[in-house]
Amino acid sequence: MAKRFMYMNTKAPYGTVYALESLEVVLIGAAFEQDVSVAFIGDGVYQLAKGQDTKGIGMKNFSPTYAALGDYDVNKIYVEKESLEERGLTLDDLQHLVWEDEDEDWAEKDSIRLVSRSELADVIDDQDVVLSF
């Protein structure tokens, strides 16, 4: 029976390796056919900021990879509202992530679910395994 796996992101991209590693784990985990959710809280919300251009720092810009999550059946992406607000951000500052629902004629749907801290606590409570980076 598929377990509910949540991957939680708490750190900003590029300053440490956590964001990239976490994304790699999610993609590799997609092959295991479990029920996957991904959450972004704290500085983790910065990972989804649009317009990342890393040419000047000599690191690979891996932000386009988030757009591919939908193709890997990862379509429950939780972003914590309080973390965005604390950082002066809104959903508009983030990439627009979508997935295609094969049960509805491949209709394109939003993957990002904006939730409050307490709503997210309930979602996490329901998970079988949590991997936090």
Partner 1 sequence: MDEDEARRQGKDANNIAEGFRISGLGQLIEAGVESDRLVTFGA
Partner 2 sequence: MTTLHTVNKSPFSSASFDDCLGLAKSGSTVLLFEDGVYAATSGTESAEAIANADGVTFAVLGPDAMARGVEGKIADGIKVVDYDGFVDLVAEHDKVHAWL
Interface residues with partner 2 (CB under 8 A)? 10, 18, 41-43, 82, 117, 120-122, 124-130, 132-133
Nearer to partner 1, 34 or 52 (CB): 34
Residue 77, SS3 per DSSP = strand
> Taking CB within 5 to 8 Å according to partner kind, which of partner 1, partner 2, none is near residue 10?
partner 2
Asked whether the beta carbons of 69 and 111 are under 8 A apart, the reply is: yes
- In the complex, minimum distance from the CB of residue 108 to partner 1, in angstroms, rounded to a whole number: 28
Residue 16 falls in which region: left (phi positive, over 0), alpha (psi -120 to 50) or beta: beta
- In the complex, minimum distance from the CB of residue 30 to partner 2, in angstroms, rounded to a whole number: 21
Separation in Å, CA 91 to CA 4, 28, 44, 76, 109? 26, 27, 14, 15, 15
E strand spans, 1-133 = 4-9, 35-40, 77-80, 98-101, 107-110, 112-115, 129-132
Query: Interface residues for partner 1 in 5-44 (CB under 8 A)?
Result: 5, 17, 21, 24-25, 28-29, 31-32, 34
Query: Interface residues for partner 1 in 66-125 (CB under 8 A)?
Result: none
Which residues of the shown chain bind partner 1 in the complex (CB under 8 A)?
3, 5, 17, 21, 24-25, 28-29, 31-32, 34, 128-129, 131
